[in-house]
Amino acid sequence: AQKVTQAQTEISVVEKEDVTLDCVYETRDTTYYLFWYKQPPSGELVFLIRRNSFDEQNEISGRYSWNFQKSTSSFNFTITASQVVDSAVYFCALTESLAGANSKLTFGKGITLSVRP
């Protein structure tokens, strides 16, 4: 069975600090997909990134960057120069690719990030 662990539950930083959100996953499959979603207080889950198990390149998108390391089964997310608008719950999720079947997203418990002005 697959599992996603987000050991940090709540993080509080001051604006402009860098912050890293950790995600560790477990799966027995060689083909799988990892995701990060952001959930602001309004409730909508906003898709941030998808990464497949064969692509270990790190990715940068503006102030956001992701570090995928298969050796440690981790897919960590860093926000550089955090802003108040980054305050939200962040979920890491995992899904397997099942040909001809329905796959499910397995979510971590989420990390509540508070950015103070």
In the complex, which residues of this chain contact other proteins (CB under 8 A)? 32-33, 35, 37, 42-47, 50, 52, 91, 95-105, 107-110
**Cβ distance to other proteins smaller for residue 102 or 117:** 102
CB of 83 to other proteins, least distance (A): 22
3-state DSSP: the chain helix, strand, coil percent, rounded to 5? 5, 50, 45
**Cβ distance to other proteins smaller for residue 13 or 89:** 89
**Cβ distance to other proteins smaller for residue 40 or 116:** 40
| 24: Cβ contacts below 8 Å, ≥ 6 apart | 4, 5, 6, 7, 72, 73, 74
